[in-house]
Structure 1
Amino acid sequence: MTNYLEEGIRELVEEFIASGKPCPSKQTITERRAGYLASTALAGSSPEMAQEFIDELDGIQVKVYKPFERANLPITVYFHGGCFVSGGFETHDIQLRQLAHLSATIVICIKYRLAPEHIYPTAHDDVYRAVLRIKEQGNRYGGNTEQICFVGDSAGGQLALATSFRLKNQKLWLPAIQILLYPMLDPLGKSDSYQQNGTDFIITAQMLLSGFQLYAGDAERLTNEPELNLLARHDFQGLPPTRLITAEFDPLRDEVAQLHQLLLSHGVEAYCEHYSGVIHGFFQLSGVSQSARRCIQNVASVIKNSTRISD
């Protein structure tokens, strides 16, 4: 199976298999977080920003990446991944700089609180509160708060979509577009791709599902809470235009395809872009993956095409 992987990705997967496919359930949360942080060595080049700083909005830390000095730049709100238990500014710094540079937008990453220390709905509430404040106060960073996009990867993709649901159902504003990179959608992992890709490709089924379980704090929430089990919802109509990214050897591949069909069937403008030969999390592997570099370019182009820089 590894013969079908992109070369740089294949080397990582073969190393993972040769090491005995370490099981996340045997790792402490501290070890999981350290492992994620160590992976940033594979993230590629890091462009310089005109401004880069941490701020606090309504008690939530955000990091602002401004690619150049100009007023009224569009804003990209970034929801970082990490299976709800890890991730933050440090794990995504390079990709966030790349995205700001390529999209010509101010990227604002939200540092939500993590499980297991903080269970549902903490992360959902944190990002929602931060998004509301970004809408109100983003102009003080030089941003145009009428031109906001959402981007999220993995657990962050789930949080971005859940935030759009909240905004829609509260009849507030919506982002110009939401770009969801392999979002975590099914907390029970019922799709075929969970079986096909769940053990050998570094980000395993157990790693993903254990993140959901730790964040839920209660097994019943995994099926009964609409903000966790997003595919079971019926209120997709009225969501913003959506770009989905899938990876061939990702346990989440099929559930993202299911989301695509649900969005289309409810009249939402949606497009799904599939990347062959790569795994979950490949967006953060631009140092070793040509597909990752192409994906970042494509995401930036979608943002540019969905926004405009005002005079």
Structure 2
Amino acid sequence: MQTALEPAIAEIVDGFIAAGRPKASELSWQARREGYLASASLGGEREQVGAIEEWHEPHYAVRLYRPAQAAPSHPALIYFHGGCFISGEFETHDRQLRMLCNRANALVFAVHTRLAPEHVYPAAHDDAMAATLSIMDRLAEWGGHSGRLMLAGDSAGGHLALVTALRLKAMQAPQPAALCLLYPMLDAGGASDSYRTYGEDYLITADMLLSGYHAYLGALPIDHPEASPLHHPDLADLPPTHILTAEYDPLRDEGEALYRALLAAGVEASCQRQLGVIHGFFQLAGISPAARQSINQVAAWLRRL
């Protein structure tokens, strides 16, 4: 048993190791998507919210969670799901977004972008940008306020949230009030020490992450700033940014390296490493105390906008 991990997560990790550490890159894309969806039940109770709306544009879709409690103005969250650019959908992230909606009394916009390998770069990046601009333009219609808007995402979604903010800055468009990046994918080269230390045993492996990058980036060089935004040449003037990392995660070091790079660029930033958990823990509120605590923490940040 992996005794430094939370007990329920340790059981999952032990089962993965006992199964021979199956390689994600040897599975079909459909199998990877179905496996991710099957794990959604670990996210805990499917809470009731005030209302849910969903709409589909030509290249992306949006699901809006409305809180039940009325307010003169609600904070708003635009959330990009993880899945290594090749998987993830509304249902993989439904439970934690309902929790955020309720705990923050916030409008929560879940954005589903096109997936690789069917759609390669810049499809997901362009979808994230188009969805963000559309939501920002109409935010007041839903009772939101542009001054209380956070962009967030986990893993590949954290990557998309960061790049979207960088694109908004480049076009001199209004920025969100804050960014929240949950163990974001930031370095397509996988060069950090945590990739080597935690890249084989902890369920979300280096093979899984890098094969997702490979499928999505296509011919784009891995050092391109939108492939590896950790090395973006101009991080200055981003909004206040909160980063959450996980102790046993191949992506841990690059998330923390981004925190240091943001500080060096003069950006207001904070970073918290959650002990005893693995990549993807934010979606494990049904079994992980750390996940429940982190959801409450993100909701508190959102309420304070």
TM-score norm. by structure 1 comes to 0.95
Q: Write the distance in 2 (CA, Å) between the matches of 1:245 and 1:69.
A: 28
> SS state of the match for residue 165, structure 1?
helix
1:55-74 mapped onto 2 (5 Å cutoff): 55-56=55-56, 60-68=60-68, 70=70, 72-74=73-75
Q: Which moved more, 1:51-60 or 1:82-91?
A: 51-60
Question: Is 1:162 the counterpart of 2:151 in the alignment?
Answer: no
Q: Write the distance in 1 (CA, Å) between the matches of 2:105 and 2:274.
A: 24
1:265-307 C-alpha deviation (Å, 9 max, x unpaired): 01000000110010000000011100000010011111112x2
How much does 1:21 deviate? 1.0
Q: What residue in structure 2 maps to residue 108 of structure 1?
A: 109
How much does 1:232 deviate? 1.8
Q: Write the distance in 1 (CA, Å) between the matches of 2:156 and 2:49.
A: 26
Q: Write the distance in 2 (CA, Å) between the matches of 1:201 and 1:134.
A: 36
- Answer whether contact 1:248 1:278 (CA < 8 A) is retained: yes
Identity across matched positions, percent: 46
- Answer whether contact 1:57 1:133 (CA < 8 A) is retained: no
Question: Is 1:277 the counterpart of 2:295 in the alignment?
Answer: no
> SS state of the match for residue 194, structure 1?
helix
AA partner of residue 292 (structure 1): A
> SS state of the match for residue 235, structure 1?
coil
How much does 1:92 deviate? 0.4
**Distance 1:72-1:57 versus aligned 2 partners, 3 A rule:** farther
RMSD of aligned residue pairs (Cα, Å): 1.3
Q: Write the distance in 2 (CA, Å) between the matches of 1:60 and 1:202.
A: 29
TM-score norm. by structure 2 comes to 0.97
1:172-216 C-alpha deviation (Å, 9 max, x unpaired): 111111000000001010100000000000000010011111000
Q: What residue in structure 2 maps to residue 245 of structure 1?
A: 244
Q: What residue in structure 2 maps to residue 77 of structure 1?
A: 78
Q: Write the distance in 2 (CA, Å) between the matches of 1:38 and 1:155.
A: 19
Q: Write the distance in 2 (CA, Å) between the matches of 1:288 and 1:74.
A: 28
Q: Which moved more, 1:38-47 or 1:192-201?
A: 38-47
Q: Which runs of 5 or more structure 1 residues have no equivalent in the other structure?
A: none
How many positions carry a matched residue from both structures? 304
> SS state of the match for residue 140, structure 1?
helix
1:130-176 C-alpha deviation (Å, 9 max, x unpaired): 10000111222232233211111000000000000001111111111
How much does 1:75 deviate? 1.1
Question: Is 1:255 the counterpart of 2:231 in the alignment?
Answer: no
Structure 1 residue runs of 4 or more that deviate by more than 3 Å after TM superposition: 56-59
Q: What residue in structure 2 maps to residue 128 of structure 1?
A: 129
Q: What residue in structure 2 maps to residue 2 of structure 1?
A: 2
Q: Write the distance in 2 (CA, Å) between the matches of 1:251 and 1:67.
A: 35
AA partner of residue 265 (structure 1): A
Q: What residue in structure 1 maps to residue 31 of structure 2?
A: 31
- Answer whether contact 1:150 1:177 (CA < 8 A) is retained: yes
Q: What residue in structure 2 maps to residue 119 of structure 1?
A: 120
Q: Write the distance in 1 (CA, Å) between the matches of 2:204 and 2:173.
A: 36
1:190-269 mapped onto 2 (5 Å cutoff): 190-218=191-219, 220-223=220-223, 225-269=224-268
Q: What residue in structure 1 maps to residue 297 of structure 2?
A: 298
Q: Which runs of 5 or more structure 2 residues have no equivalent in the other structure?
A: none
AA partner of residue 252 (structure 1): L
How much does 1:104 deviate? 1.0
